[in-house]
């Protein structure tokens, strides 16, 4: 049989393949342009930017990173970020790997930045600068595959803050003398040292005295904060009877407690030891916590003070519980921030400063202790302060 020959036309197929190749080339060109644009945007960001994989190894840094820490991109890609850019506390203590915010975010932990506790990044040349950073996880298919960190140098902000702190310290010192004079003369008048007062005069003088006392309290708080921020706050250690000190603090605030009809109770461990501490510092802590409980507990509420010791850890714990307004759950992470006051207490009391708990935490943290709390809004709050039975003399260096 004769073989039937079929003539095939490959031109349409060839043309289709060429069209596909052209489309691929166009897509590749577009992708390269987008990548170049993305890299240009990341490089032009004014803040330092570093991207790491799930192992903590650097995969990308921008120009600001190179300028701020001194490392070039080619020198750090593929290296662990915690080794390239060590992080230190303000006191020069190296932040360990497990304590780095970046490490915690990689493990899935939600971390809130503590703006009251600044940190420093160490540069290639071993110099350091104060930094503020934001660390965000990179999530793909519900899995953390890395993190992005942006940071900036806050040296100027710290210098401005220091200048303001020095001004507050100077102003506070200057205000103490006239306020003390007003306090002294008002007490003399109320005591009848210069003659008997009629009821109306006594009423007005008591208002002057109360107003002056509030001013003295504010000035003392500002002075304490400025000393902490400037590193001039020091401990003066001596043998201290904590039980008696707490009782004295309660007696000082007895008029306010009785005026609101608040019932106080005590649970003090028997044979409580004499501790090596600074009674003035302990008084600051006890006064702030007690005054908050009294101020933010409704009339005829309850306050309980507890003192206990832990011989194993060589610590003692002071706890104060109340049936007050409590702290809203969504604001509890900010309660120790400077000048912060929760919404539910600002509505009821306009005279607070938002400095008391900031001072308590700063003093406790820098003396080797710790402070924490449990609270439910409209149910009450319990604050706990754990303190060393004997504060080391090196504690004074912690504020510097």
Separation of alpha carbons 109 and 103, rounded Å: 9
Give a yes or no: residue 273 inside a domain: yes
CATH number, domain of 167, equals 1.10.287
244 and 386 inside one domain: yes
Distance CA 106, CA 56 (A): 8
Q: For residues 147 and 200, state if they share a domain.
A: no
Taking the C-alpha atoms of residue 130 and residue 88, their distance in angstroms, rounded to an integer, is 9
Strand-pair partners of 129: 121
Q: Output the pLDDT for position 398.
A: 43
- Measured CA to CA in angstroms, residue 169 lies from 158, 228, 243 at distances of 16, 10, 32
Residue 192 lies in a domain: yes
Task: From 92, 122, 153, give the residue that closes a domain.
Answer: 153
Tokens coding 100: 């780095």
C-beta separation of 49 from 65 below 8 A: yes
Please enumerate, as own/partner, the contacts of 363-367 that have beta carbons within 8 Å and a separation of 24 or more.
363/228, 363/233, 363/281, 363/284, 363/285, 364/285, 366/228, 366/233, 366/395, 366/398, 366/399, 367/235, 367/277, 367/281, 367/391, 367/395, 367/398
- Residue that is written with structure tokens 């921008």 in the block: 62
97 and 201, same domain (yes or no): no
Tokens of residue 164, six digits: 């303001």
> What does the angle CA 102 – CA 73 – CA 143 come to, to the nearest 5 degrees?
35
Residue 127 CB contacts under 8 Å (≥ 6 apart), including other chains: none
pTM of the shown model: 0.58
Identify whether the C-beta of residue 123 lies closer than 8 Å to the C-beta of residue 129. Answer: yes
Domain shared by 266 and 391, yes or no: yes
Three-state secondary-structure class, residue 130 = strand
The 3-state DSSP class for residue 325 equals coil
280 and 377 fall within a common domain: yes
User: How far is 53 from 81, CA to CA, in rounded Å?
Assistant: 10
Both 147 and 165 in one domain: the answer is no
**Residue 240 located in a structural domain:** yes
Same-domain pairing of 83 and 208: no
Ramachandran category for residue 242: left, alpha or beta (phi over 0 → left; psi -120 to 50 → alpha): alpha
pLDDT of residue 397: 44
First to last CA, the chain: 107
Q: Are residues 137 and 202 in the same domain?
A: no
Please, what are the averages of pLDDT over each run of 10 residues along the chain (400 residues)? 54 65 63 56 71 90 90 92 88 82 80 65 91 86 88 83 73 78 88 87 87 78 72 77 90 89 90 83 89 91 92 88 92 86 76 80 83 91 89 50
- The answer to whether residues 389 and 309 belong to one domain is yes
Query: What is the spatial distance between Cα 400 and Cα 397, in angstroms, rounded to a whole number?
Result: 5
For the chain, the domain total comes to 3
278 with 373, same domain: the answer is yes
**Does residue 224 lie within any of the structural domains?**
yes
- Other residues' Cβ atoms within 10 Å of the Cβ of residue 293: 27
In a domain, 36, yes or no: no
Q: Are 352 and 295 in contact (CB under 8 A)?
A: yes
Q: Are residues 67 and 166 in the same domain?
A: no
What's the domain range around 121? 46-153
- Tracing tokens 């609101």 back to the chain, one arrives at 260
84 lies in a domain?
A: yes
> Which of 182, 207, 232 corresponds to the end of one domain?
232
């Amino acid at each position: 049989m004769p073989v039937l020959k079929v003539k095939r036309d490959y031109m349409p197929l060839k043309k289709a393949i060429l069209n596909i190749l052209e489309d691929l080339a166009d897509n590749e060109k577009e992708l390269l342009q987008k990548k170049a644009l993305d890299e240009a945007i990341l490089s032009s960001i004014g803040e330092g930017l570093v991207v790491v994989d799930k192992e903590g190894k650097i995969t990308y840094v921008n120009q600001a990173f190179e300028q701020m820490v001194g490392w070039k991109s080619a020198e750090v890609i593929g290296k662990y970020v915690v080794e390239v850019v060590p992080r230190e506390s303000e006191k020069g203590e190296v932040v360990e790997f497990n304590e780095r915010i970046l490490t915690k975010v990689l493990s899935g932990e939600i971390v809130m930045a503590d703006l009251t506790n600044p940190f420093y990044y160490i540069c290639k040349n071993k110099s350091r600068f104060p930094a503020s950073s934001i660390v965000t996880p990179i999530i793909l298919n519900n899995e953390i595959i890395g993190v992005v960190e942006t940071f900036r140098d806050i040296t100027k902000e710290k210098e401005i803050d220091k200048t303001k702190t020095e001004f507050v310290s100077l102003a506070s010192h200057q205000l103490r003398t006239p306020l003390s004079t007003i306090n002294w003369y008002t007490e003399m008048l109320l005591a009848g040292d210069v003659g008997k007062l009629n009821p109306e005069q006594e009423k007005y003088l008591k208002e002057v005295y109360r107003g002056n006392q509030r001013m003295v309290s504010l000035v003392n708080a500002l002075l304490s904060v400025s000393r902490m921020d400037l590193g001039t706050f020091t401990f003066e250690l001596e043998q201290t009877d904590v039980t008696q000190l707490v009782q004295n603090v309660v007696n000082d605030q007895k008029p306010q407690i009785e005026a609101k009809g608040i019932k106080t109770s005590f649970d003090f461990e028997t044979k409580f030891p004499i501790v090596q501490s600074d009674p003035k510092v302990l008084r600051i802590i006890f006064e702030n916590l007690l005054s908050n409980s009294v101020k933010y507990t409704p009339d005829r509420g309850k306050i309980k003070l507890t003192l206990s010791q832990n011989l194993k850890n060589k610590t003692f714990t002071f706890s104060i519980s109340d049936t007050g307004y409590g702290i809203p759950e969504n604001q509890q992470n900010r309660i120790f921030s400077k000048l912060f006051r929760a919404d539910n207490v600002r509505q009821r009391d306009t005279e607070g400063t938002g400095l008391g708990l900031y001072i308590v935490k700063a003093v406790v943290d820098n003396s080797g202790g710790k402070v924490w709390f449990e609270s439910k809004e409209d149910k009450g709050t319990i604050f706990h302060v754990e303190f060393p039975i004997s504060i080391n003399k090196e504690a004074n260096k912690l504020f510097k």
